[in-house]
Amino acid sequence: MNITKLCSLLFIVITASSCGILQLEKDKDSEPLTMEVVHEKFPGYTLTEYQAGEGLYQVNCGKCHGLYKAGSFTESQWASTIPRMAVKVNKKGGREFISESGEQAIFRYLYSQGMLIN
């Protein structure tokens, strides 16, 4: 591994740990919610939005680190983490990969997957 890659990896680890990304709560083995429960919180939520959120999460959030289970963070932690990470993805990519509606789709996808409600 060359020195540039090593420095990049070290920078990512330090940044992630300072943002709290590596300080995960114990996974509570949460289960995905039924669409009825999700519709109570997000009336009009569609399968298309679910699939968009899932795709955005898997493609973009897995580029720099492993994907976390929805139950790894609380609702408020996801709500603050997703916008912060979207800014990083967009900056790193040099264009908008995740819009505000994309952030919302990711949040709703993770909510439906059983994030810890607080």
Q: Model confidence over 93-109: pLDDT tens digits? A: 999 999 999 999 999 99
Comparing 86 with 6, the larger pLDDT belongs to 86
How many Å apart are CA 16 and CA 10, to the nearest integer?
Answer: 10
pLDDT of residue 116: 84
Q: Which two tokens stand for residue 84?
A: 């912060």
Burial status of residue 39 (CB atoms within 10 A of its CB: 0-12, 13-18, 19 or more): middle
Q: Which two tokens stand for residue 58?
A: 């898997």
Crossing angle of helices 47-60/100-112, nearest 10°?
100
* pLDDT digit string, tens, across residues 29-83: 567 788 788 889 999 999 999 999 999 999 999 888 899 999 999 999 999 999 9
The residue type found at 19 is C
- Domain-wise residue ranges, the chain: 25-112
